[in-house]
């Protein structure tokens, strides 16, 4: 177990709806990154938060947004859901004493119908 | 330049055999290269990682070989076991950023 927890584990939404995914980072880690993993592919970087500020963004549209809270937990929000947003969404925490390593949660499986 | 190319896409190995997965990169600014193991329905788990100042790193049955001049690195799984059956991802990162660039994955099946 990595100590990174994500909720919910599974979610089904309708096209056009909005969704919020949550992540609790590992104790002592101040950086949270979010990744999208489509079926059969490697994870793709969405964005990263460091001490409550966005600190890098991948090639994702603005309808993907996030937040990081003072306890370093994080949310990923996706507006106007599209069918192609169906994927496993992964949260990774890093920083603290183990600066280089990123530890992933189990992911949230989002299905858009 | 941001890509990491991984091969093969799938691999079948007999129990006790050696599994070899290869990755190549272009961006010489990458300076941290981890390998992740992912089981179905789970998040990727860090397996082993290497920096380019080292040509080889071994942890138990897992070894990373790194060729800086060729911009290639590989994962060797010795004495492969059925429990090693999973998808393996190589990745790369610049130390100035936490952003990981992942390969496309290799689905490994170890037959009993």
Q: What is the pLDDT of residues A23-33, one digit of tens each?
A: 998 887 888 99
Picking from B39, B102, B49, B28, the residue whose alpha carbon sits closest to that of residue A46 is B102
SS3 content of chain A, % helix, strand, coil (to 5): 5, 55, 40
Pairing of strands A74-78, A87-95: unpaired
B103–chain A nearest CA distance, Å? 6
Contacts of A103 in chain B (CB under 8 A): 46
Contacts of B41 in chain A (CB under 8 A): 106, 109
**In the prediction, which pLDDT does A98 show?**
46
In order of A22, A28, A72, B56, the CA distances from A8 in angstroms are 7, 23, 18, 39
pLDDT per residue over B75-100, tens digit each? 999 999 999 999 999 999 987 677 89
Q: What percent of chain A has pLDDT over 90?
A: 74
């Amino acid at each position: 177990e990595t100590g990174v927890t994500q909720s919910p584990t599974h979610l089904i939404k309708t096209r056009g709806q909005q969704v919020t995914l949550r992540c609790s980072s590992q104790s002592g880690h101040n950086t949270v990154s979010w990744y999208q993993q489509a079926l059969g592919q490697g994870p793709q970087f969405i964005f990263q938060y460091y001490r409550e500020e966005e600190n890098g963004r991948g090639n994702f549209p603005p309808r993907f947004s996030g937040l990081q809270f003072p306890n370093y937990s994080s949310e990923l929000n996706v507006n106007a859901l599209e069918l192609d947003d169906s994927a496993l969404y992964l949260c990774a925490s890093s920083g603290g004493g183990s600066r280089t390593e990123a530890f992933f949660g189990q992911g949230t499986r989002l299905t858009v119908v | 330049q941001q890509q990491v190319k991984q091969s093969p896409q799938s691999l079948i190995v007999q129990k006790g055999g050696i599994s070899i997965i290869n990755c190549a990169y272009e961006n010489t600014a990458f300076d941290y290269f981890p390998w992740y193991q992912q089981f179905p329905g789970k998040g990727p788990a860090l397996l082993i990682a290497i920096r380019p100042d080292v040509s080889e790193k071994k942890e138990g049955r897992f070894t990373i070989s790194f060729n800086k001049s060729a911009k290639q690195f590989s994962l060797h799984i010795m004495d492969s076991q059925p429990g090693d059956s999973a998808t393996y991802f190589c990745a790369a990162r610049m130390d100035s950023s936490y952003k990981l660039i992942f390969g496309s994955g290799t689905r490994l099946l170890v037959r009993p």
